[in-house]
Structure 1
């Protein structure tokens, strides 16, 4: 089974379109799965504490062209959590449907999260000690990365990496701006980082 993992779309139509096209070309049979932050919340964390809801357009842009691209299952990221805290239930059918999504997903020895649950160092190294899973996939930091047994490894896009032995923390990298995604092959036990043009 192949999974095309994406994260941190932040409502970017051109970047999402480019990544999905690259996935279709490179791995047409892969199941597309998002690790969250599909939508961009226009209200920052500090302002959210005192924000009073008036209109949905002030909080999020639900572009119909972008929504046509969002056919895949997704986890909830911190952007979605903030949207839900600001927009009442019943205002948007799209967001109400999204509220049913999970924050984490388990698949055999692999766990998928958004990444805002992790503690991050100054150099964007994640502390994954609270997650004992052999394979941990995430995003959030907008910097792709691969860590084996806690040590950062160098990765080269387009080259499959065996993940048969050891404990791995895998930062997929963002769709927004960088147009990155990751192919996870559960049969071959490999991951491959990609960057769409």
Structure 2
């Protein structure tokens, strides 16, 4: 089975369209799966503490053209969590459906999370010690990365990397601006980082 993993779209129509087109071209049989932060919340964390809801457009832009691209399953990221805390139930049918999405997904071989659950160092190295899973996939930091047994490895685009032995933490990289995505092949036990044009 192949997964085309994406994360941190932040409502970017052009970047999301470019990545989904690249996935269709490169791995049309892959299951597209998002690790969260599909949407951008217009209200920052500090302002959210004192924000009183008035209208949805102040909080999020639900562009119909962008929404048409969202055919895939997604986890909830911190952006979605903030949206749900600010927008009452019943305001948006789409958001109400999204509320039922999970924060994590577990398969036989891997755990998928958004990444805001991790503790991050100043150089954006994640502390994954509280996650014993052999394969941990995440996003959130907007910096792609591969860590084996806690040590950062150098990665290049378009080159399959074997993940058969050892414990790996894999930061997929953001769709927003960088247009990155990752192909995870459970049969060959490889990952390949990609960047759409």
TM-score, normalization by structure 1: 1.00
Aligned-residue offset at 1:109: 2.2
Are 1:113 and 2:113 an aligned pair?
yes
**Residue matched to 1:135:** 135
What is the match of residue 36 of structure 2?
A: 36
- 1:11 matched to which residue of 2? 11
Partner of 1:63: 63
The size of the alignment, in residue pairs, is 197
Runs ≥4 residues deviating over 3 A: none
**Cross-structure match for 2:22:** 22
Secondary structure at 1:69's aligned position in 2?
coil
> Which residue does 1:103 correspond to in 2?
103
Q: Which residue of 1 aligns with 2:45?
A: 45
What is the distance in 1 between the residues matched to 2:163 and 2:190?
5
Q: In structure 2, what is the Cα distance between the partners aligned to 1:81 and 1:63?
A: 19
SS in 1 for 2:4: strand
Q: Which residue of 2 aligns with 1:126?
A: 126
Q: Which runs of 5+ in 1 are unaligned?
A: none
State how far apart, in whole Å, the 2-side matches of 1:164 and 1:185 are: 11
Q: RMSD across aligned C-alpha pairs, in angstroms?
A: 0.3
Tell me the secondary structure at the aligned position of residue 47 of structure 1: helix
1:169 maps to 2:179: no
Deviation at 1:15, TM superposition (A): 0.1
Rounded to whole Å, the distance in 1 between the matches of 2:5 and 2:48 is 29
